[in-house]
Amino acid sequence: MNEERVIITYRYYQNPSEIPTEEQELLSHAKRALLGSYAPYSQFNVGCALRLEDGTIVQGSNQENMAYPSGLCAERVAIFWAGSNHPGKKIVAIAITAASKVVSTDHPITPCGSCRQSMLEYELNQCSPIKIIMQGSSGRIMEVESVSSLLPFYFNEVDLKHQKL
């Protein structure tokens, strides 16, 4: 038997003034994106903002549907919109935040597994890391330098290649 370890490096900041101005701005855009959230069932509003390599900022918010699988998370709304409207432009950073009247969001809110996989595919295709900045409605801010930090054992195109056994 062999044993290996995965080590994930992340940073915590106590308040937005500790992070660079560009990241503060991106987090502010994510908080504004909350206004477009449609979450009548979960009451869990998520806002996302991403910065493209040319400085363009794209916002997204979660969009629920009575038929739950039909909704879409804020992160995928933003990255799919960016991919569709700004093809070929790299995503440099993504900020994610959430607010709720029914559960506490005073801690960093991380993306779900589907969003991690979707964001990672963009990161792999652009051959450069995407920084992720996460905060709840208040409290500490968490930052990772790459989506792969959040999904170290990811599914990729190699897994789809047909190889003779």
By DSSP bridging, strand 44-52 and strand 91-100 are antiparallel
Known catalytic membership, residue 75: yes
Residue 35 burial (C-beta neighbours within 10 Å; 0-12, 13-18, 19+): exposed
Could you tell me if 96 and 121 are in contact, meaning their C-beta atoms sit under 8 angstroms apart?
Answer: no
- The H or E element containing residue 81 is helix 74-85
Residue of 22, 53, 64, 75 marked active site: 75
Sign for the pseudo-dihedral over CA of 52, 123, 70, 98: negative
As separate numbers, helices (DSSP H) first and strands (DSSP E) second, the chain gives: 3, 6
Nearest-5° angle of CA 20, CA 73, CA 63? Answer: 115
Catalytic residue IDs? 75
